[in-house]
Structure 1
């Protein structure tokens, strides 16, 4: 059953999700729930107003519904865009972290397990220590809609366990390989406490080592509340990041993590977020 619609726009997607930057190969009538960051924030604000109204009427049992994180950024007022990196950590990650630290920018890292998390725990620790968001991109990049549900669950849960062992934290976000999700993947994500994060901007940096082209592609597609997809495993990507950050700032964007983009909403397990 589709999740109930909220006061803000919440869509139940059936069949193929039409988006030029995504290929979601869904079979049959499988459906899942998707919402935009702006709508998630609107839902949270409405819930907060309702809670505060109950409190004024003497009902305080639910407490304050506002998110405690990301209070330093209000993406209802700021022109926000989320910066995300997939498929690391890699030999390029420390250089990327140096750049982000210099620019005082935080990003969300959707990390792979096999040959990445398991071989580079120091980078995982540094990502966490420097205030970036730890997120899940499966253990071995299998397409979750093409494998059995039990195997899909292992692909996600192994990363959850590995990240917790290294950092003491368990990711709350995941990105399905190739953006391919369905009702089963959403159910598994919900069971594991993971929200699904898709994207609106892709540089297709797996196709080129041209850092200028990567920069241009990002800037041409970026709009307010966008989610930028890059990969810190490719040679042309990290050298493009300083220019991307500089141009985005010049255009008035505040660069945030995915959770900051959603705040005061909290990522909802099983939900797919897409601008």
Structure 2
């Protein structure tokens, strides 16, 4: 009798195993298919994963998907080149980004206000154009904070965009800037206009090299050799517009906030 019971038990076990093995596996009802696009949105910064970009921190170019270009001008403001550049930008209906030196802004507050009033974006280019990689963290912070303080005192706005002088940055520089939730903005095309190139050379350093999302570096500081750069600017704008590029500010190009939003900052 016992033997018969054991045989029956074994037979039932074998039957259960066979049925289980032949049955298709079912997904749990609440499991999301990882391949379903609607369930797995792309990370927000994916479109800016390009070259040396560190999305949310450091950028040398915008998205390659968009036929946009950003003009940037360093080392101003002052009273010779800055007004000429502003006049051209106004005539061409183009907005740009000006990375200003704190001491220059202090010396030419009306020009900084004009840059702001005409719809351009203002960025931080340190207090006195010191190479930040030669400084410790405390001194780096002081250079940036004093520049921001001057800009804020004139415009009521505190920049979140930082361009280290010469583009030089290291671990200390990055650490200080990122700790303030600010962004490092470099460039894709360098005109080297400060060297005194004529307008034809400046154009050749920009137009043939242009690609979607590129950032162009020019200058408007105290430099007697910028005539070629200013002369080339209208032709650069016209030619790139013909090629289908639209001109935007850095915050528009990179989808970044231009200024700190505090109780003391009024963003028009």
Same fold (TM over 0.5): yes
Which residue of 82, 89, 96 maps to 2:85? 96
Secondary structure class of the residue paired with 1:89: coil
| Maintained 8 Å contact 2:58/2:183 | no
1:192-220 deviation digits (Å, cap 9, x = unpaired): 34211011101111122411211111112
Secondary structure of 2:107's counterpart equals coil
**TM-score between the two structures when normalised by the length of structure 1:** 0.69
CA deviation string 1:233-257 (max 9, x = no partner): 3232222111111111111100111
Q: Does 1:37 align with 2:26?
A: no
| Cα distance in structure 1, aligned partners of 2:77 and 2:130 | 17
- Structure 1 or 2: larger strand share? 1
- Tell me which protein shows more helix as a share of its residues: 2
From 145, 165, 177, give the equivalent of 1:189.
177
Aligned counterpart, 1:109: 98
Query: Gaps (5+ residues) in structure 1?
Result: 18-31, 40-75, 270-275
Residues 76-155 of structure 1 aligned to structure 2 (within 5 Å): 78-90=66-78, 91-114=80-103, 116-155=104-143
Q: CA deviation at 1:156?
A: 0.8
Asked which structure has the greater RCO (Cα within 8 Å, sep 6+), the reply is 1
Mean CA deviation greater in 204-213 or 121-130:
204-213
Secondary structure of the 2:76 match is coil
Name 1:67's counterpart in structure 2: none
Q: Is the 8 A contact 2:62 2:215 kept in 1?
A: no
**Residue-pair matches, total:** 209
Structure-to-structure mapping, 1:134-213, within 5 angstroms = 134-213=122-201
CA shift digits 1:106-139 (9 cap, x unpaired):
000000122x111110110000001000101111
Give the secondary structure class of the aligned counterpart of 2:122. strand
- The question of whether the paired residues in 2 share the 8 Å contact of 1:108 and 1:258 is answered with yes
Alignment match, 1:242: 234
| CA shift in 2, pair 1:236/1:187, >3 Å | same
Distance, in Å, in 1 between the alignment partners of 2:193 and 2:133 is 24
Match of 2:251 in 1: 259
User: Larger C-alpha radius of gyration, 1 or 2?
Assistant: 2
Give the drift of 1:152. Answer: 1.1
State the secondary structure of the residue aligned to 1:118: helix
Unaligned stretches of 5+ in structure 2? 1-42, 261-268
- Could you say what the CA RMSD is over the residues aligned between the two structures, in angstroms? 2.6
Q: For 2:106 and 2:179, how far apart are their aligned partners in 1?
A: 24
